[in-house]
């Protein structure tokens, strides 16, 4: 009876140990996979933030502040990738999360900056176009008036001229 | 005396110049003239931020410092990665003619964003450990870069011509291509020749 109980207990413990070992392996693999996915997501988030920053820059926004924050995100992403390479999954995942936070905030700010830069550019364009059109019209009117006056004076001058006979003309 | 047609031509010219002058502010917003040559710079400076006092004769467990720099003249902000790699004389460098990077895996990386016309610089601290010498060969077990240790396990034979065990620490510049959404080798690299002298 005692033998049976002992055998049963040993088998149970063996099963527990094996299950523990197996589940540890699963958790470690899942942890590494999770960290790898997080680092991948952080990489994508930084790229998207950079794309948005570039769009804002093309729209005419000042992106110096965004570039500073992107550099911060880049440093953290580099650290996350190196932590992942060294097998430090928890640090990699934590750094990736930090990086995603910064990248998303940069992307949001870049979108706002782009919209305001586009608005500003549109206002500048219409102001400039109005100034150009009005100036050209005024200039054309002035030029036409000056031309008419000049033409009148020119004609008067031509009509007032007397024909002259050259002194060495033949008789 | 000039004919009336000549004066007409002068007035027309003045009119055209005036129209262009008044339209220039709006044309400047619409027309985009092509910029100059687009390129990036990659450099390495000594510990005093000057192109001097580079580490050359190196030994184990000694800290060395250089500065890595990148300059952006691409016409817009750029996203770069600088990969730090380590090789012996038999391993390949990037191919500048074909524009391909070295096949060696990077040990350390800098991710950086630089505005057009601006530059970036960062320290690169490194030291060697597990260095040994035997039968005209030197071995480097580990390389520490900016506080992170990497197992490199490289060996170099004695260079008869230059009297030393030569290794090279080099940096490759990669740039993010927005169109392809991927990093590509930017065909720029700089390196430091290092002569392993002692344990």
pLDDT at B5: 87
* A83 within domain boundaries: yes
If you measure CA to CA, which chain B residue comes closest to A50? B79
Q: Does A51 have pLDDT greater than 70?
A: yes
Number of domains in chain A: 1
Domain that holds residue B128: 39-198
pLDDT at A168: 64
* A41 within domain boundaries: yes
Find the CATH number of the domain harbouring B45.
2.60.40.10
Residues of B with CB under 8 A from a CB of A: 4, 7-8, 11, 14-15, 18-19, 22-23, 25-26, 29, 76-77, 79, 108-115, 120, 148, 176, 178, 181
* B107 or A1, greater pLDDT: B107
Number of domains in chain B: 2
Q: Which of residues 126-165 of A touch B (CB under 8 A)?
A: 128-129, 131-132, 135-136, 139-140, 143, 146-147, 150-151, 154
DSSP state of B32: -
C-beta neighbour count of B171 within 10 angstroms: 25
Q: Which of B11, B22, B113 sits opposite A147 (nearest CB)?
A: B11
Model confidence at A34, pLDDT cuts 50, 70, 90, reads: confident
Q: Does one domain contain both B15 and B49?
A: no
In this prediction, residues B180-187 reach a mean pLDDT of 95
Q: Does B62 have pLDDT greater than 70?
A: yes
Query: Is B26–A128 a contact, with Cβ atoms under 8 angstroms apart?
Result: yes
* A141 within domain boundaries: no
ipTM > 0.85 (yes/no): no
Give strand pairing partners of B194.
B167
Q: In angstroms, what separates the C-alpha of B122 from chain A's closest C-alpha?
A: 11
Q: Does A78 have pLDDT greater than 50?
A: yes
Query: Is A46–B111 a contact, with Cβ atoms under 8 angstroms apart?
Result: yes
DSSP state of B93: P
Q: Which residue has the tokens 């007032």?
A: A160
Q: Does one domain contain both B97 and B180?
A: yes
**pLDDT tens digits for range B99-110:** 999 999 999 999
Model confidence at A72, pLDDT cuts 50, 70, 90, reads: very high
Model confidence at A24, pLDDT cuts 50, 70, 90, reads: very low
Q: Which of A54, A132, A135 sits opposite B77 (nearest CB)?
A: A54
Q: Does one domain contain both B98 and B163?
A: yes
In this prediction, residues A150-170 reach a mean pLDDT of 77
DSSP state of B94: P
Determine contact, residues A121/A129, Cβ cutoff 8 Å.
Answer: no
């Amino acid at each position: 009876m005692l033998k049976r109980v002992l055998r049963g207990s040993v088998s149970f413990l063996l099963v527990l140990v094996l299950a523990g070992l197996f589940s540890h392996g699963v958790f470690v693999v899942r942890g590494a996979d999770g960290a790898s996915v997080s680092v991948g997501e952080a990489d994508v988030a930084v790229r998207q933030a950079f794309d948005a920053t570039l769009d804002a820059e093309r729209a005419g926004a000042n992106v110096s502040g965004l570039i500073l924050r992107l550099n911060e995100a880049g440093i953290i992403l580099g650290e996350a990738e190196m932590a992942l390479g060294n097998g430090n999954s928890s640090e990699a995942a934590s750094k990736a999360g930090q990086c995603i936070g910064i990248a998303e905030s940069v992307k949001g700010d870049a979108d706002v900056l782009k919209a305001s830069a586009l608005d500003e550019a549109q206002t500048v364009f219409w102001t400039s176009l109005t100034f150009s059109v009005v100036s050209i019209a005024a200039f054309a009117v002035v030029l036409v008036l000056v031309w008419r006056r000049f033409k009148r004076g020119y004609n008067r001058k031509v009509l007032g001229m007397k024909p002259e006979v050259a002194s060495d003309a033949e008789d | 005396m000039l004919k009336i047609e000549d004066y007409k031509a002068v007035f027309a010219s003045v009119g055209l110049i005036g129209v262009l002058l008044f339209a220039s502010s709006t044309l400047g917003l619409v027309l985009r003239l092509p910029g100059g040559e687009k390129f990036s710079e990659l450099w390495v400076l000594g510990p005093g931020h000057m192109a001097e006092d580079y580490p050359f004769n190196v030994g184990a467990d000694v800290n060395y410092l250089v500065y890595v720099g990148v300059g952006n003249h691409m016409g817009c902000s750029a996203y770069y990665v600088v990969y730090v790699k380590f090789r012996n004389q038999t391993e390949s460098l990037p191919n500048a003619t074909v524009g391909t990077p070295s096949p060696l895996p990077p040990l350390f990386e800098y991710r950086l964003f630089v505005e057009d016309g601006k530059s970036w610089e960062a320290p690169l601290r490194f030291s060697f450990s597990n260095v040994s010498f035997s039968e005209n060969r030197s071995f480097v077990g580990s390389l520490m870069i900016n506080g992170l240790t990497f197992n490199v396990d490289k060996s170099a034979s004695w260079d008869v011509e230059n009297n030393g065990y030569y290794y090279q620490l080099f940096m490759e510049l990669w740039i993010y291509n927005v169109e392809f959404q991927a990093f590509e080798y930017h065909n720029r690299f700089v390196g430091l020749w290092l002569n392993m002298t002692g344990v």
